[in-house]
Structures are given as C-alpha cells and as structure tokens.
A and B are shown apart, each in its own frame.
Chain A
Amino acid sequence: MPPRPICDAAAPQFTTGNIPMPNRATLLKILSAVLLFGSWEIAGRIPVSFAFPTFLESMEALYRMATDGTLWAAYAETLQPLIVGVAISAVLGITIGLWVGLSDFFNWLFSPIFIVMQAAPLAALIPLLVLAYGIGLTSKVLVVCIMAMPVIVLNTASAVRNTPESMKEMGRAFLASDLAIILKIVIPAASPVIFAGLRLGISAGFIGAILAELKITPTGVGDIITYSRSIADYPSMYAAIFSIILLAVLFLNLLEKTETVLFKGNQRGYVSD
C-alpha cells in the first residue's frame, strides 16, 4: 500500500498577516523588552523613588563597570560557587532523584530531607552553615546547593515514578535489560520534567549565589550590590542585579536548546496523548 500523506506535514506554516511565525515570536520578544525597559525608564524619570535609577543610567553604569573590569572581576568571584553548586546539584540531584523515583526505600529515606530543604527559610539557616563551614567557598556552594537541589531531586523523582507503564512493558517485551530500560526509556521519558526541574533549580541556584554573597561575605556581584547601595550609587546596584538576571536568562535559554537537541520528539508530548 502507498504511504498516505499527512495533512499537517505538507501544510504551509501558520501565518498571521504577512509575518511568518518564527519572526513573529522574535518580534513579540523585542516588543515586550521595549515595553519593560520603557516603563523602567519612565518610572526612573518620574522618579518613583530617590533610590530607583532610570534604565539608561543603569545601562551606563553597566557599560562603565564592564569597561573598567569591575564587572568581570566580580563575576570571576561569583561564578565559582555558582558553577560548582549548580554542577553538584544537577549531577547529584538527578542521580538521587532517579534512585528516589525507582526505589521505595530511597523514597522513604531521602524524600523528607529534600521536602524539608525546600521549605526551610534558608536566610535564617546561613549563620549555622557559617558556624560549621566558615565563610569560604564551601558555605557558599552549600547555599547554592540547598537552593537548587530539592526541586531537581523532587521533579526527577516524580517524573521517573510517572513513566508510562506500557512503555516499560514494551521494553521488557523487546528484551531490554533493567539498565537499558532506565537509560533508554525511563530517563528520556522523564526528561521534560527533569529539565523543568533543572530550570527551576538553576534559577534558584542563581538566587542562592547572590544570597550567599549578601549574607556570608560580600564578594563578587553581591559586593557590588552591597557597596553601591552603601554609597548610594543606585545605577551600579541595579546594573549588577540586571546583569545577573541577564546571565540567568541566557543560561536557561541555553539549557532549553540543549533539551530540544537531545530529545527532539518530546516537544510535542506523548504518543498516547
């Protein structure tokens, strides 16, 4: 029998007016950025508060810090606990999450720890961490991990637990070993939710890194924020905050791209939808 053509594959891309879909998405992004920064500029010019600089002032401060090297020196400092903490959280978090999802025993053992970790008021616990681990890198990495790990573990575990039963059964019927079922079925099936957890965890890790610099010792970007505030250089303070948000957004976009490349067909949900 000849293959039947599928309608939507052959259909032209959806269009609105004369603007094709992908361009429209970019256009909307630019529009929303213009709106946001425009209202920031207006709010700064009114001004809503003496301590609230305009968008252009902040960008100017950002440019100044980037050219005189302050910003890069600060990031060299801040990125250490951030990268180490996020890497540990991602690797350990996904591994523990897999265990917790696959075995009732590990679920019993670990789940409560991470639920407590997620709910704990971290800022209040920082003095305890400092007491135990000092004011060095260890404490800051721990703060990042405590922020980032629980959501990664809990998301991974629930995704693994919800792998469609018929897919696992299919694996067994076609002679997959237990390891192959985990690697070729459970993990890819859980990947959308694992990646969602990673995105949430990594954003929380960014918050953790700055929190650690504000609460433990003022270094890096946290130092710029604290110092600029103390001398009322608000444009520099907002420039630092803006730069860390920008970095987080860029990083999360990169993560999303990775996911798209790794698990292409997953974008459109499961077959048994």
Chain B
Amino acid sequence: MSQTNAPPAGVGDLPESAVSTRSISKNYGAVEALRDLSLEFPRGQLTSLLGPSGCGKTTLLKIIAGLLEPTSGEVEVNGNKVTGPGPDRAFVFQDFALLPWASVIRNVAFGLEMRGIAKSEREGIAEHYIKEVGLGGFEQSYPHELSGGMRQRVGLARALSVDAQVLLMDEPFSAVDEQTRRKFQEDLLGLVANENKTFIFVTHSIEEAVYVSDQIAILLPRPSRVSEIIRPSGFRDKGADNIRRDPEYLDIVDQIWASLRTYVE
C-alpha cells in the first residue's frame, strides 16, 4: 500500500473502511464532548486519534467500543451498526485493567473465558499470545510481579487472543516509561504489518502518532471535531530505525504542533 501524502481526506484510493463513525455527538449533561464527528478507519491500517487533553479522543474510542452510547449518530464496524461491545472489537486499556488476583495466563484468557471457550483450548491460545508479546515463562506470574511495560504486554496479549478484527487502544503506552514506550512503538509497527487487523490508537503524543500511524486524525476540543486528517506514507518502508530522522516525519511533527499549539494552555 503506497500512497502519497494527501492531507485532508483524499478518499479516492483508500482501502475500504473497517470502521466508520457517522455524525457522532456526545453530550454529558450540558457539556458537549463530541459534535457531529464523522471518520473513516481504513481496514488493515493504524489510525491515530490525536489531540490536546479534553478533546474527546477517549470518548470517541469508547463509543466505537460500545462502552459508551453516543447521544446521536452511529458507528458501523464491517457494515454492522454498533449497539454494544462485540466480538469484532478488542480493547487495550490505558491503566492495563488486569485482574490482580489472576495469573498472567488467566488474565490473557479472560476474553476467551467470557466467550465460553473450554479451559484447555483457551489456555493454549493464551500461551501462544503470551509468547508472541514476549512474556514466555511468565504465564503463572501475577500482575504485581510484573513491571508496568510487562503488564501492558499482558493487556495486549488479552486483546490479541480474542482475535478481533479491530483493536482499540486507549493511550496504551502512556503509563510506561520512555524506553519501554519506544520498544512498544516498534513492536506495534510489526503487529500492524503482520496481523491483518485494523488498529485505532488514541494518543496525546505527536511523535508517537506520526511514528506508528498510517492515518492521523487530529481532533480539536470543545466540542471535539476532526480538524485535519494526515496520511504519512513516505517513510513507512524505510525501516523502524530510520523513521525518526526522516525529513517527512520531522515535517509532519512540526506541522501538527503548529496547528495544535494554540489549543494547549
């Protein structure tokens, strides 16, 4: 998939959407969190929702997940209207949301357990994904025995193990340290390339968004709306190590900061 840098939604040559939101509005009492927000999320790609704090990125993600109900508008996943959480979407939480009394393997298998899959089968699947995220050997450990980064790997394995087509990630790397975060970002590029899934990724870090995304939707706050869609493409094939010094990468980071800085107090 090679595309030229076409800033505002040049929909022509995009792959079909896995997820679309249509005129989503969300009010909390008198507060308008989202207003008339429409976005397309191309299949097999990673779309970031980027914006200053309080711009409703997480609200939008939870509406897509079916955890929150929009005041008006609708979400479609693979052409089906979202009415609540579903097997086609999995969620990675900012605070990991692991069960502290359950071992790593039970945590990873939780989604499968809720789908009624037999114990031996779900533990087999869980073991596979625990190895895949690099936690092989920690199956019987408890969350408190793991570092923050390892806990989020458990959260990631849990989301991968239910094999949903859409992975929703709510600032997944914001609670881990800088070095772990960099490693995570590199691993995420590998996941997007190898797993045939659609990723929706909420972040407040401009560099992170530009580094990992196929498409960046910039949201502006109060009420939240999409101000710009950026599709970085020039540096995707140059290898994970070269992205951060690619001129296009640096230009996009600057460009986004220029448009966001007036909204940051």
Contacts and interface: CB of A to CB of B under 8 A. Distances in A.
Interface string B68-92: 0000000000000000111101110
Contacts of B158: 174
B17 interface: no
Contact of A1 (B101, B113, B143, B183): B183
A263 B85 contact: no
Given A266-B101, A271-B98, A6 B145 contact: yes
Interface size on B, as a range, is 35 or more
Interface of B: 62, 65-67, 84-87, 89-91, 93, 95-103, 110-111, 113-115, 134-138, 141-147, 150-151, 158, 162, 183, 187
Given A191-B101, A266-B101, A271-B100, A172 B85 contact: yes
A257 interface: no
Main secondary structure of the interface of B (DSSP, over half): loop
Nearest to A175: B114
Interface string A182-193: 001100110100
Given A1-B134, A2-B134, A174 B114 contact: yes
B91 A268 contact: no
A175 B87 contact: yes
A173 B100 contact: no
B134 A263 contact: no
Contacts of B85: 172-175
Contacts of B67: 169, 172-173
A6 B158 CA distance: 21
A9 B151 CA distance: 15
A16 interface: no
Interface string A258-273: 0000011110111111
A145 B231 CA distance: 67
Given A171-B114, A264-B142, A271-B98, 20 more contacts: A1-B187, A2-B134, A3-B137, A3-B138, A4-B150, A6-B145, A6-B147, A8-B145, A9-B145, A166-B95, A169-B97, A170-B97, A174-B158, A175-B85, A177-B114, A185-B99, A268-B145, A269-B144, A271-B100, A272-B96
B90 A174 contact: yes
Nearest to A9: B145
Contacts of B86: 175
A137 interface: no
